[in-house]
Every structure is written in C-alpha cells, then in structure tokens.
Structure 1
Amino acid sequence: MKKKVIAIILSSTTVLLLLGLFLVPFRTALVFHVQNTEQIQAFLPIDEEDTFQIIFTHSIHLTDVVEKYRVRDDRHIVQTEIIYEEFGIGMPSNAEEGEEFVYEDGKYHIRDLNNVFSSMNVRNGKTVSKNRLAWGENGEKMVWFNEYFTPGDWYNVRVEELTLWQYMKGMKIHE
C-alpha cells in the first residue's frame, strides 16, 4: 500500500511539473513571431519599463533611423522617440501636438512620442539589410537582425510571457 501511495505522489508530481513546463508563464520577453503565425523565431528577455531600439538603414538615403521603445507594465510597446539624419520618404517632417522636434548633433529627433502598440510588424531589410536591435540603459547591447532573421522576412513583435518550454526551445537573442 505504501509503495502505491509513493507511486501516485511521484506520478502526480511529474504531471504537475510537466504541466508547469508547458503552461505556466516563466519569463517576459520581446518575442519575434514569423509573420502571420505563432511560430517564435527569436526572443529577447525583457522586463516592464525596459527600453529597446530598432535601428535600420533607410533604403533610399542610406542613413540610420533609430526608433526607441519602452515596455509598459501591461505588455504594450510605446514608441518614445525617432532619430534620423535626412528628410525623405517615410520620415516625419515635424512633431505632433505634445511632441518635441529638435535638431541636435546633425540629427533630427522627435521626442515625447506616445505611440502605443500591442504588437508591431517589423521587416528585416532585403535590399539594405542592416537592421539592428539594441537594448540596455542607452542601447549599449546590440545585435544585427541578420544573426537571427532572414533578410526580407516579416515578423510580428510583441511582449509576451513565455513558458519554460518556449524559453528552452527558442532562440534567445543575446549580445
């Protein structure tokens, strides 16, 4: 009888551990899903109020554009600033109400943005594939998109809670 009780306890514990592995959220991350799927291409562990940047080379004027973001506690992504060197296709020419437009150190800055996204679609450049992801206090950690993503492919980016299983099997972005 005692062996049967121990076997039941061990079986139950194993089942609970496996369920936890697959169902219980383990870590918040900035997750890159292959466009229109739930397939995780890569993820960056991130916490509430952390910041990150997506830097891309504009395909026409071939200068860097920096988009700065912050993660809210509700897992939404807030665009806080955009920095660029030249006006052109797709570049804003002024700030909206409540935003600040400045020219500093040879670059245009639009600050105090409050563009909120539950998810974003991001493309890894195909013609000019020099996209980067930066994070940390001042964006001091950085990787090239081509290390993790196929040039020309689209990804849906959102902040999610990953299970331990997703975390272990996924491709963690690191410097």
Structure 2
Amino acid sequence: MGIGDVSNTLIYYKIPLVIILLFILLGIFLIPFRVLLASDYRTGEYLMSWPIKKGAEFYIEYTHSVQLTPVIEVYFIDESYNIILKESYFYSYGAGLPSTTPYKFEITTRGFRIYDINQLMQDLVYRTGAERANHKINIGNKAYPFLNFSAPREGVKFTVEKFSLLSYLAKEVKQ
C-alpha cells in the first residue's frame, strides 16, 4: 500500500463523517423550542422574543398613567405553554386600579397584592407608553424596556410560540 492509498482511504472516512456532522448541526438548528414572543398587535410583526420554559415567570411593570405609581403584573407559563396571570401589585387606589376583587387580597410592603388569580391570558396586550409609563418586561432576572423593542403607543401582544433555533437567531440578528 502506497502513500496515495492511505490518503484515499482517509478521504473515504472523512466524507461520511463530514456529512454526518452536517446532519447533526442541521438537526440542532431545526429542533423547535418555545419563546415568549412580543409582536405588533395590529400587524403581527416580530418585535422581540425570549426563550421560555414551562413554569417560568415573568412580570410586566409600568407606571400608572393617572396615579403615577408602579403597577406590577406577574405571569407564569403553565404546562401547556399558556400565559397565566398569577398576581398583581399596585400602590394606590384610583382610576383603572381595582377597588374590589374576587381574588385573594393583602397589603404588603410592596403595596396592595391581588393573588391566586390564575387567569388564562388569551390576548395579553400592552400599549407602550409614550412618556411616563416606562413599561418593562422582566424575564430571566433582566429588565427590557418596551421602548427598546416597540414604538410609543404601539400595541404589543405577548404569546408563546415554537421557533427553531435557526429562525430565532435569524430574527434576533435582523433586529
């Protein structure tokens, strides 16, 4: 066996190995996973997304437009990847804030707390504040101001969707 025979043998082994590795990489990029998707309520245009798992919590925080006090609404992702309103905190009574509730209620150091709501959110939509509201979504110990991914007064709809890693990376790079 000469030198040429050895190099030909290595090529025969390398080609199938490269093909197998390409299929593995392609498979990884096509495996679906779930994201919390923020999209334009009217057009459905992609705004931003975050990988999310069952049982994960996130909260949306903003300044109430009349009372000028913080409001926090806490959500979680259930076993079927639905968005569920878990609890809400607010710091004052006034227009647009509850004065009565059918849910559990307590006064805490963080303000008034309504909890055990467990309300399925079919359409979770917020309108990005233009001046004072300062809407933020807090997910994975990080806050994302709405104005970083949406325009003032834009309706932002939140849903849980399946994305492949490839489409997720393409959308995030395009942003």
TM-score for both structures, normalised by structure 1: 0.77
Of 150-159 and 127-136, deviating more is 127-136
Please tell me whether Structure 1 or Structure 2 has the larger radius of gyration of its CA atoms.
2
Match of 1:171 in 2: 172
Q: Provide the identity percentage.
A: 24
Q: Which amino acid aligns with 1:35?
A: Y
Match of 1:117 in 2: 121
Q: How big is the shift at 1:125?
A: 0.8
Q: Does 1:52 align with 2:58?
A: yes
Paired residue secondary structure (1:113)? coil
Match of 2:143 in 1: 142
Output the CA distance in 1 between the equivalents of 2:34 and 2:110.
36
Q: How big is the shift at 1:106?
A: 5.6
Paired residue secondary structure (2:169)? helix
Paired residue secondary structure (2:92)? coil
Of 71, 76, 84, 1:70 maps to 76
Task: Answer whether contact 2:57 2:76 (CA < 8 A) is retained.
Answer: yes
Task: Answer whether contact 2:89 2:110 (CA < 8 A) is retained.
Answer: no
Deviations 1:7-33 (A, max 9, x none): xxx7xx88xx49x85xx5522110011
Paired residue secondary structure (2:172)? coil
Deviations 1:106-140 (A, max 9, x none): 6100011111023311211123241111124xxx3
Which runs of no fewer than 5 residues in structure 1 stay unpaired?
A: 1-5
CA gap of 1:93–1:171, structure 2 versus 1, over 3 A, is farther
> Displaced runs of 4+ in structure 1, greater than 6 A?
none
Flag the structure with higher helix content: 2
Of 32, 35, 41, 2:47 maps to 41
Output the CA distance in 2 between the equivalents of 1:40 and 1:127.
23
Q: How big is the shift at 1:83?
A: 0.2
Q: How many residues align?
A: 155
CA gap of 1:156–1:148, structure 2 versus 1, over 3 A, is same
Paired residue secondary structure (1:53)? strand
Output the CA distance in 1 between the equivalents of 2:169 and 2:89.
35
CA gap of 1:107–1:129, structure 2 versus 1, over 3 A, is closer
Output the CA distance in 2 between the equivalents of 1:122 and 1:106.
22
Deviations 1:43-68 (A, max 9, x none): 01110110000001101111110000
Which runs of no fewer than 5 residues in structure 2 stay unpaired?
A: 1-14
Output the CA distance in 1 between the equivalents of 2:55 and 2:116.
15
